[in-house]
Each structure stands twice: as structure tokens, then as C-alpha cells.
Amino acid sequence: MRLLTNQIERRTQPNRTTPKNTSVIFFHKTGSPQKPPKTIKESFTRKTTSTAEPTPIKMFFPAQLLIRRSLINPVPRLNLKSTGSSQKIIRQSSLITIQRTYSAGHAADESFSAFNERYTQFFEGVQDLFELQRGLNNCFAYDLVPAVPTVEAALRAARRVNDLPTAIRIFEGLKEKVENKGQYQAYLDELKPLRDELGVPTKEEMYGQAI
């Protein structure tokens, strides 16, 4: 009976040879054993300080290839210090100067009678207001005062295109071109029958001003 009781006690009591501080070993996927963390801080540091290498990101346009292409075919840039553009501008300005000199020389070679004949024919054939105003600007741009027949043709052209302000401006242009008031009055007296026929007043008559 005593032997049976001793065997039962031995089976029910824990094995005293087993150490109390037995630690369980955890195995990761890599197969290396690792002890469980003691604190939460230690577990967090283990996650952040992982020795696994990051997966490289695939680039659609590799940087080395782009650098090589930029070295082979550099991007053209605007060079503000280059003399090519300045030379081109100088050539264009010289051409404009030559053209202006040519037109001035043509006016200097033209006589007063040829000048009046040319613009009289021009005003007689004008059928558009824009052409009339362009012709008047060119005519009064010279250092010559147009003769009475030329002014008559310009007034009839203004009546033809039905533009009274342009007709009044013709007399304002005459007043600016003549040397004194006596010459302007002579033009008004010579053109009075035509002014009455076309019904073109002067600026002085409209505002009651003296000549």
C-alpha cells in the first residue's frame, strides 16, 4: 500500500528538476530563433529596426538613361548675348531707313505740278473712305500745300463717300499747312462756291470762331 501511495504522489506532483524560468523560443518565417520581447518598447524597436532590405522601385524612365540623352542631345536655350539677333535687327532697321530715304528722295525729285496732278487723279478715283483718308494723310505729309484743283478733288471724294467730318478736316489741314492766315483766307474764298454746293462748313463757322 505504501508503494502504491508513493507512486501516485510522484505522478501528481510536478517535476522538481524542471527549471522555473523556462523561456519559450519563437521562430520567425526566416527560421532564426528569437526570444519574445520583455516590454512594449522593445517590441516596437524590433519592428522599426528590421534588417530586411526594401524592395527596389522600378522606374519607367531610368535616371541614368535620361542623363545620357540630355548629354547627347542638349536642350537648346535662348542666348541673349548672341550677336546674331542684334545683327538681324540692325539689318531690318537699315532697310527701313533706306525705304524712307527713297520715298523722301522721290518727293524731292517730283515737281509741284506733278505732285498736284498725281493726287488729283488719285482723289478723282477714290470710292472708299479708308482710301480717301490714307490719301489725305500722304498728301499733307509732304512739305507742299496742295493746289486748289487738288483740294476740290478731295472735297468731291469726301462727298462721294458721304463723310462730312473728313471734308471739314481737309480745311483744318489747309490751315495747318499754310504760312499765314491770309493764305488760308485765300483758299476759303477760292473754294467758297464748291463749299456752298456741297454744304461743307468750316470749323470756324461751326463754332463762331475767328480765322
- The CATH number of the domain where 161 resides is what? 1.25.40.40
Indicate whether 77 belongs to any domain: no
Indicate whether 103 belongs to any domain: no
User: Which residues form the domain of 182?
Assistant: 112-207
Task: For residue 211, name the pLDDT band (cuts at 50, 70, 90).
Answer: confident
Number of domains within the chain: 1
Least confident window among 19-28, 61-70, 119-128: 19-28
Indicate whether 102 belongs to any domain: no
Pick the residue with more confidence: 169 or 30? 169
Among the listed residues 162, 191, 194, the one whose alpha carbon sits nearest the alpha carbon of residue 174: 191
Per-residue three-class SS string for 151-181: HHHHHHHHHHCCCHHHHHHHHHHHHHHCCCH
Among the listed residues 152, 139, 145, the one whose alpha carbon sits nearest the alpha carbon of residue 183: 145
- Kindly state the DSSP code that residue 46 receives in the 8-state scheme: H
Beta strands (DSSP E) in 21-63 are 26-27, 33-34
Pick the residue with more confidence: 165 or 82? 165
Residue 115 has pLDDT above 50, yes or no: yes
